[in-house]
Amino acid sequence: MARTPLDITADMACADVLHSRFEALPATATVDDVRHWFATSSHRKMAFLTDGDRYRGSLTREDVAEPVQASRAAAEVARAGPTVAPEAPASSGHELAVAGGALRVPVVDAEGRLLGVVAVTEDRAGFCG
């Protein structure tokens, strides 16, 4: 996977470092659907819910862990933010991704479309994707 070091991104926007190859789940997904999605890869750190291309929320593994009922609508436990705009400085995306703990933050445009994700490397020294 490509890596963009943080120290070369001073003049870059989130659109320049976003990871555009991602899989979103439908806003109608259940908690069990999200659990299964996470179970297919240990590298998945954040799930995104969408209605078409419209961002509806984010979830981490912890958000859908027991004792949350498997049949519950994932949208009920999803968080609406934080999100970052594509034109925001890459450093802002990095800060939000690290602050949230999952090292991810969704990139959402002014119309509410999910464009991608700012994904920070495990060592926090750059962006992956």
Neighbours of 46 (CB within 10 A): 22
- Best CA proximity match to 127, nearest among 10, 12, 15, 19: 19
pTM, 2 dp: 0.92
What CATH number has the domain bearing residue 79? 3.10.580.10
HSE value, Cβ hemisphere, 13 Å, CA-based, for 51: 8
| pLDDT of res. 3 | 84
What is the number of domains present in the chain?
Answer: 1
pLDDT digit of tens for each residue in the chain (129 aa)?
A: 568 888 899 999 999 999 888 899 999 999 999 999 999 998 899 999 999 999 999 999 999 999 999 999 999 999 998 999 999 999 999 999 999 889 999 999 999 999 999 999 999 999 986
| pLDDT of res. 97 | 95
Q: Which domain holds residue 63?
A: 3-128
